Amino acid sequence: MDTQIETRELSKWFGEVVALNNVSVQIPTGVIGLLGPNGAGKSTFIKLALGLYRPSRGEIRILGEKPRNNFHTLQKVGYCPEMDHFVEEVSGYEFLYWLARYSGYKPKVAKKQVERAVERVSMTERMYDPIATYSKGMRQRVKIAQTLLHDPEILFLDEPMNGLDPTAREELFELVISLGNEGKTVIFSSHVLHEVERVTDTVILIYNGRVLAFGKIREIRDLIKNHPRTIVIETLEPKKVYQILSVDENITTVNFDTQSLTVHTLDPMQTFKYINEMFLDEKVPIYSFRCADEDLQSVFQYLISTHIPRGL
Amino acid sequence: MAILRIKNIGSLFLDIKTSFLHSLTITLRRDRFLLMAIICVLPVIIPIFVALFSRAMFRESGLEIFIRLSEQVYVHTLTPLLALFIGLIGIREEVDSLTIVYLLTRPVSKFAWIVGRFFAYMLISTFLLGVGLFSTFLACVVLGSIYVDFIGISMLLQYLGVGVMGLMGYGAISLMLGCATNYPIIIGVILFFGWEKIANVIPGIADFWTIQKYLDSMFPALASQRYNRAVMTVIGSFQKELFFVSPQRAFITLIVLTIIFLALAIGFVLWREFTKDRVVGTR
């Protein structure tokens, strides 16, 4: 596969704070998830890729060229920023129109590009209303529309799901998948694992400015398969539930509460199987059960503790 | 897929035009523009008041009032004010509202972006200054000793020309401040209304480091009697020794200064990292 984005020992620090530390990756064509908790360095990575930041050390190349102040590169990239800032009194159409003009289109072509982009994000009906009257989801759509205006080869979507309602989220998932099918490279940044899983199976895991893993999600899942998982079971009889679950040798620790119990298990699938059986047998009333640490933070913590040497 | 242009002179011109038109549409709908439009025509009140309420035998002539208003109000006060309040809209608002990130990720030349904004500012400010000066001129004509004839119109145009040169010089500095610093208005006020005024009074050649020095050199030579400024202190009074600059040299100096400050503005845009969402714990 051809390399679209390449970094070598890329680092960025602001004063004494290291935002990105020694990142070397080669990103191929396709949809790539940039996964990490808030403050991990995802946005910094994207801004370095767009040339908004200068690397403090190392280098980054987009389609073989350094991106900073490089309009050749900027012709081929689109960026949906995480932040929500607009000139509020202008309409969505006007906002997009001027950005299309800045992309080098003449007025008539710019108008067509805007209409096309707006249609793609289902904002045609409201495009002449002032942005100040838009909901959070609509503003997000406008941001995504401006990313598509000049039909870029590489799209950077920084937390694009923020503020979207379920319908809009589904539409955006479809859009990202279709962009990937069109042969574009989409860097989809998120701190939510299942959002990324909806659009791609390839992720870059980033934490504390470091790339912890880069590959298929299932490979990353394999990395954490031995990671003890926490399951919370809500029931009125926690002790009785534990008595039944005690046959499961994978459970390492149990914490009781008045109406719930929390178990740590080495094999969540096996434990879930026991809980399901218990639920179906109706021996004990179970109201709900969930995995409490499926969030990325716990995955990162686990990966750091097992894969990053101390002191780094 | 629509074809994007390859950067050449034609596309550079297109970028300048886009930046110019965009800046015009932004500036013309700002309250600040309306405020400056009102301020620019306010001096008209002075000759009208003089005509209505001053006794004919004591009052200053229309010519004297026009010269004083043109030099002290329009050129020395309103041109730097326009530069700060209109010149900064194009760049600084984008930076402060963080919408600059949309522009910085477009394949637009930074040179074209700055130059387009500067042209838009020049057009709007020249229009406001022109309307103000012309209204004041007409009001002064009512008072007499200045007429709508060749001499009167020449004088008006000369003051307008000096005003435009002022707008260029102050505007380029404002633009540079907008690109280089986070507090351009404060620094601009200190420079234009602090440093410029002080440097033109204190003895020495500090006035050569001001825009006002070169603007003063281009005023109509015999428009009125001008007095050398003096500083009165408890020790004594110091009169500044003036070193004159010819209008031609002043004109060239202002053009060069404008180019230098515009180049600096472009340099700062290319060099700075404008996006603010830095890592927690940093500024």
Q: What is the CATH number of the domain that holds A146?
A: 3.40.50.300
Binary contact (A113, B2; C-beta < 8 A): yes
* Contact in structure between A200 and A180 (CB atoms under 8 Å): yes
Whether residues A110 and A255 fall in one domain: no
- Closest chain B residue to the Cα of A50, Cα to Cα: B105
Dump pLDDT digits (tens) for A275-286. Answer: 887 777 777 788
Query: Strand, helix or coil at A200?
Result: coil
A120 occurs within a structural domain: yes
A222 occurs within a structural domain: no
Sign of the torsion formed by the C-alpha atoms of A109, A111, A113 and A119: negative
Beta strand A57-62 with A3-14 is antiparallel
A220 occurs within a structural domain: no
CA distances from A246 to A232, A240, A268, A269, B272 (A): 15, 10, 14, 15, 62
Residue B259 has pLDDT above 90, yes or no: yes
A170 occurs within a structural domain: yes
A122 occurs within a structural domain: yes
Query: Quick one: pLDDT at residue B52?
Result: 80
Whether residues A276 and A196 fall in one domain: no
Last residue of a domain, one of A181, A215, A249: A215
How many angstroms separate the CA of residue B59 from the nearest CA in chain A?
Answer: 49
Binary contact (A86, B99; C-beta < 8 A): yes
The tokens describing B214, both together, are 């070169």
Q: What is the pTM of this model?
A: 0.82
Enumerate the β-bridge partners of residue B232.
B237
* Contact in structure between B260 and B112 (CB atoms under 8 Å): no
Whether residues A171 and A298 fall in one domain: no
Binary contact (A103, B107; C-beta < 8 A): yes
List the single best residue of A66, A71, A112, A142 to mutate versus B (max B Cβ within 10 A).
A71
Q: How far apart are CA A138 and CA B107, in angstroms?
A: 25
Dump pLDDT digits (tens) for B67-81. Answer: 999 999 999 999 999
Last residue of a domain, one of A180, A215, A250: A215
Give the one of A82, A85, A150 whose C-beta lies nearest to B4's C-beta.
A150
The tokens describing A96, both together, are 């997009």
Whether residues A211 and A240 fall in one domain: no
Query: Quick one: pLDDT at residue B60?
Result: 72
Whether residues A274 and A192 fall in one domain: no
Q: How far apart are CA A177 and CA A183, in angstroms?
A: 10
Per-residue pLDDT, averaged over A57-84, amounts to: 93
Query: Quick one: pLDDT at residue B48?
Result: 86
Residue B237 has pLDDT above 50, yes or no: yes
B232–A contact, CB cutoff 8 A: no
Sign of the torsion formed by the C-alpha atoms of A110, A112, A114 and A120: negative
Per-residue pLDDT, averaged over B134-146, amounts to: 87
Of A20-34, A66-80, B149-163, B215-229, the range with the lowest mean pLDDT is B215-229
Binary contact (B106, A47; C-beta < 8 A): no
Query: Quick one: pLDDT at residue B57?
Result: 61
Per-residue pLDDT, averaged over A77-85, amounts to: 91
Query: Quick one: pLDDT at residue A277?
Result: 79
A311 occurs within a structural domain: no
Dump pLDDT digits (tens) for A152-184. Answer: 999 999 999 887 778 888 888 999 999 999 999
Residue B281 has pLDDT above 80, yes or no: no
Number of domains in chain A: 2
Whether residues A119 and A191 fall in one domain: yes
Compute the mean pLDDT over every residue in chain A, rounded to the nearest whole number: 86
The boundaries of the domain holding residue A278 are 227-305
List CB contacts (< 8 A) between A159 and chain B. none
What are the φ and ψ backbone dihedral angles of A11, each rounded to 5 degrees?
Answer: -135, 145
pLDDT band at B283 (very low <50, low <70, confident <90, very high): very low
- Closest chain B residue to the Cα of A79, Cα to Cα: B105
* Contact in structure between A275 and A233 (CB atoms under 8 Å): yes
Whether residues A180 and A231 fall in one domain: no
| CATH number assigned to the domain comprising residue A285 | 3.30.70.260
Using alpha carbons, select from B178, B234, B231 the residue that is nearest to residue B206: B231
A32–B contact, CB cutoff 8 A: no
* Contact in structure between B104 and B91 (CB atoms under 8 Å): no
Residue B3 has pLDDT above 80, yes or no: no
* More confident: A25 or A309: A25
Query: Quick one: pLDDT at residue A311?
Result: 39
ipTM: 0.85
Whether residues A39 and A128 fall in one domain: yes
Per-residue pLDDT, averaged over B38-54, amounts to: 88
Using alpha carbons, select from B108, B266, B78, B250 the residue that is nearest to residue B172: B266
Of A198-202, A231-235, B38-42, B112-116, the range with the lowest mean pLDDT is A231-235
Whether residues A51 and A197 fall in one domain: yes
Q: How far apart are CA B63 and CA A269, in angstroms?
A: 95
How many angstroms separate the CA of residue A251 from the nearest CA in chain B?
Answer: 38
Last residue of a domain, one of A215, A245, A278: A215
Q: E strand or H helix at B46, and its extent? A: helix B45-53
Per-residue pLDDT, averaged over A211-233, amounts to: 76
A312 occurs within a structural domain: no
List the single best residue of B4, B29, B106 to mutate versus A (max A Cβ within 10 A).
B106
Query: Quick one: pLDDT at residue A167?
Result: 82
Whether residues A147 and A240 fall in one domain: no
What is the amino acid identity at position A186?
V
Whether residues A185 and A257 fall in one domain: no
A48 occurs within a structural domain: yes
Beta strand A229-235 with A202-207 is unpaired
Whether residues A202 and A234 fall in one domain: no
Residue A312 has pLDDT above 70, yes or no: no
Residue A300 has pLDDT above 80, yes or no: no
Residue B198's Cβ-side half-sphere holds a number of Cα atoms within 13 Å equal to: 7
The tokens describing A174, both together, are 């479809």
Using alpha carbons, select from A74, A34, A93 the residue that is nearest to residue B108: A74
A21–B contact, CB cutoff 8 A: no
Q: How far is CA B71 from the centre of its chain?
A: 13
B30–A contact, CB cutoff 8 A: no
